[in-house]
Structure 1
């Protein structure tokens, strides 16, 4: 598996917040899904509220 660094923004009441997460995944699509799932679980956000701007393999 590969480490992926995913960065982007998510919407809050105060406005847009930047984020950067690292995940271990077999491919880029799975890495994106992990991050979207994490934001849903941790911040109770819909997938539409999370904007992924960049995905890079480490």
Structure 2
């Protein structure tokens, strides 16, 4: 498994909240899915509310 750095943003009370997090995944698409899943459950967000700007290895 590779480690991917994922950058993006999601809406918060004070405006857009930017994030940068590292995820272990076999490829970029799985890394994106994990971000949608994790941020959705932690922040009660829908997939359409999360914007992923970059996925880098």
Q: TM-score band (shorter)?
A: over 0.9
What is the alpha-carbon distance in structure 2 between the residues aligned to residue 48 and residue 12 of structure 1? 14
Give the C-alpha shift of residue 13 in structure 1.
2.4
Q: Which runs of structure 1 show a deviation greater than 3 angstroms over 4 or more consecutive aligned residues?
A: none
Which structure 2 residue ranges, 5 or more long, are not aligned? none
Give the C-alpha shift of residue 12 in structure 1.
1.4
Partner of 1:16: 16
What is the Cα-based RMSD across aligned positions, in Å?
0.6
CA displacement 1:11-58 (0-9 Å, x = unmatched): 11221010011000000000000001000110000011110001000x
Which structure 1 residue ranges, 5 or more long, are not aligned? none
Give TM-score scaled by structure 1 length.
0.93
Give TM-score scaled by structure 2 length.
0.95
Aligned length: 57
